[in-house]
């Protein structure tokens, strides 16, 4: 149950951080980036991948 709560909170944080990061990239770029949804997915996927290893580290 603890992991479910951590993953849910992490997913919410990752979503908002991805949106913020994409807006910062577009501000530097000066206009809306082509394939914006794909870049958002890449940022979100990367954060989710990192979050998996932080929340549930391998048992060695």
Predicted local confidence at residue 1, as pLDDT: 72
The string of pLDDT tens digits covering residues 11-56 is 999 999 999 999 999 999 999 889 999 999 999 999 999 998 888 7
pTM above 0.95, yes or no: no
Predicted local confidence at residue 6, as pLDDT: 87
- Residue-range domain boundaries for the chain: 2-55
Predicted local confidence at residue 12, as pLDDT: 95
Answer whether 46's CB lies under 8 Å from 22's CB: no
Residues 6+ apart with CB under 8 A from 18: 40, 43, 44, 47
pLDDT band at 60 (very low <50, low <70, confident <90, very high): low
């Amino acid at each position: 149950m603890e992991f479910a709560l951590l993953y849910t909170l992490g997913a919410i944080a990752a979503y908002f951080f991805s949106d913020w990061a994409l807006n910062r990239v577009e501000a530097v770029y000066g206009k809306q980036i082509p394939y914006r949804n794909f870049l958002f997915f890449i940022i979100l996927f990367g954060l989710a991948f990192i979050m998996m290893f932080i929340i549930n580290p391998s048992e060695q």
